[in-house]
Amino acid sequence: MSMKLFEYAVLFHPRATKDEVERNDLPESQIVVDVTQVLARTDKEALMMATRAIPDEYEDKLDQLEIALRPF
């Protein structure tokens, strides 16, 4: 099976605290892993590579992360 080109990025969407919601001062999303190009056989393999690129400091915030994956 031949390799395909994929791009991924990892975004962090922090939850707003009750005070932030009341002040209408919502936290902005951040790029955790910049757009990265990889060669993979499947989108699942590319997704696994993206998951491995997540920094350890976000280990307890995985539910606030989004992996954007795009095939070519």
pTM recorded for the entire structure: 0.86
**How many CA atoms lie within 13 Å of 48's alpha carbon, on the beta-carbon side?**
7
C-beta of residue 20 within 8 angstroms of C-beta of residue 62: no
Query: Mind listing the pLDDT tens digit of every residue in the chain (72 residues)?
Result: 799 999 999 999 999 888 888 888 889 999 999 999 999 999 999 999 999 999 999 999 999 999 999 998
Domain ranges of the chain: 4-71
What are phi and psi for residue 37, nearest 5 degrees? -100, 135
Q: What pLDDT does residue 25 have?
A: 85
CA atoms within 13 A on the CB side of 18: 0
d(CA 23, CA 49): 38
